[in-house]
Structure 1
Amino acid sequence: MPDLAPPFLAFAFLTFCLAGLVKGVTGMGLPTVAMGLLAAVMPPATAAALLLLPSLVTNLWQLAAGPDPLGAVRRFWPMMAGVAVATTAAAGALSGDDARLASAALGGVLALYAALGLSGWRPTLRERAGRRLAAPVGLVTGAVTGATGVFVIPAVPYLQALGLEKEELVQALGLSFTVSTLALGAGLALHGGLPAPAIGGSAAALIPAGLGMAAGTKLRRVIAPETFRTLFFAGLLALGLYLAATAAG
């Protein structure tokens, strides 16, 4: 665990407030923002351990609040199975000794995700193609999650391409992120990357994450979501490039 000096605690508190704010406005982004910022001051495995409980609690709520949680599980179980297996297996890369490699991979994934978001690219998939790709997408998403702690590539573009209704998409994202969080926690524990102090820190992070989500929910009513997403992706692109360049240097 990093030094628990007041400056670090303040930084972590503000990080989870910001991550929760993004989650409240857009319905996603808490692990992405938290991993990106925390990985700049600590090993990626430690950052991933700290975000486990805030991510799990907020995404379980998102899943349960949707129109048909059990229906979502039945529909997307092949993808979720791939996510669970690959994330658990690949988490050794995140908790390994080469933290610089994990930081570089994290930076690359953040930059790619941000570039896709800024481009306005909206892929589409026919139903049959979506079914065929479900398990492969889950496996690739799990591999990326295990190596970087970020759940979004390629799961988010894939789910967006299926043409789901708004509430169905939000629920499917909640399911995907919930499974990813549980599998990441299991993988880190299996590979020795989940120290007991990190669990306590993760529980404490629920407070600023919850405050941020509450503020984000209110902010969503007064700011255009597209404007917020543009600012979010621009900041994420800069952060990803910074992490990748720092790790490479």
Structure 2
Amino acid sequence: MFDTLPQHLELIVLTFLLAGLVKGVVGLGLPTVAVGLLGLVMPPMQAAAILVVPSTVTNVWQLAAGPRFLGLLKRLWGMLVGIVVGTLLVGWLLAGRNWPAATPLLGVALILYALLGLSNKRFRVAPRHERWLSPLIGVITGGVTAVTGVFVIPAVPFLQALGLEKDDLVQALGLSFTVSTLALAITLSQHGSLLQADVLGLSLLALLPALAGMYLGTWLRSRISPLAFRRCFFGGLLLLGADLAIRGL
């Protein structure tokens, strides 16, 4: 399954450099960009295996930078448990197989995420609905993660709809992404062919360009228009998602 990875080494390095840059500018997007671009040349779960180390390190960094870890953990625990349950359950059902529908589903997930980003719509979740909706969103996010390796749908729109302050939202995203990455790593490790030593080595290697990209993105954040960058980012995701969806079919 991983025999073709060495020939994609340059693509992996460039992909994580770009993915880190996006995350440095807008605070998210590393797994979406990485799995989306690598999905052009490999199955989504193979790309997700390479993602494990860069995603874990960058999300823990983002999580640690926020001010209200315990408060957010108490508020979001239902969603976080749902993410773990959904990821492990669907991962167990798939049993490490490459589901043929995974690539088009990845494309659809990217299209939905891009359309939400481009629409600039702001939804609101009423406090009375948050308690029962939170675990459901978590389970759905976990299921999507187990199939596509991308954990932004529907967790990101849901967190944005909670009306969190900017710093709290960034930390909540870091918390959600960290739990999603760890749950995905557990799922991959249960199927030895998906998380071998050579893949972990590639994942460690991918951390370097990801951190370099994040550093560059953080530097660029105050020097470019965030709105223009977000439009380019989501526009690119829309085209990438469309290509993956059509290619998969």
Which residue pairs with 1:157 in the alignment? 157
Shift of 1:2: 4.3
Which residue pairs with 1:201 in the alignment? 202
Q: Determine helix, strand or coil for the equivalent of 2:151.
A: coil
Which residue pairs with 1:17 in the alignment? 17
C-alpha RMSD of the superposition: 1.3
Change beyond 3 A, Cα 1:119–1:146:
same
CA contact (8 A) 1:145 1:184 kept: yes
Identity of aligned residues (%): 55
CA contact (8 A) 1:106 1:148 kept: yes
Shift of 1:94: 8.6
For 1:63-102, list aligned pairs within 5 A: 63-92=63-92, 93=94, 95-98=96-99, 100-102=100-102
Which residue pairs with 1:227 in the alignment? 228
For 1:73-152, list aligned pairs within 5 A: 73-92=73-92, 93=94, 95-98=96-99, 100-152=100-152
Number of residue pairs matched? 246
Distance 1:108 1:51 in 2: 20
CA contact (8 A) 2:95 2:191 kept: no
Q: Determine helix, strand or coil for the equivalent of 1:122.
A: coil
CA contact (8 A) 1:94 1:147 kept: no
Moved beyond 6 Å, runs of 4+: none
Q: Determine helix, strand or coil for the equivalent of 2:54.
A: helix
CA deviation string 1:80-105 (max 9, x = no partner): 0000111122225493133x311111
Which residue pairs with 1:50 in the alignment? 50
Which residue pairs with 1:237 in the alignment? 238
Using structure 1 for the length normalisation, give the TM-score.
0.95
Distance 2:204 2:211 in 1: 11
Which residue pairs with 1:188 in the alignment? 188
Deviates more, 1:212-221 or 1:125-134: 125-134
Using structure 2 for the length normalisation, give the TM-score.
0.95
Distance 1:113 1:43 in 2: 20
Distance 1:13 1:109 in 2: 24
Q: Determine helix, strand or coil for the equivalent of 1:223.
A: coil
Distance 2:185 2:111 in 1: 24
Which residue pairs with 1:39 in the alignment? 39
Distance 2:40 2:209 in 1: 19
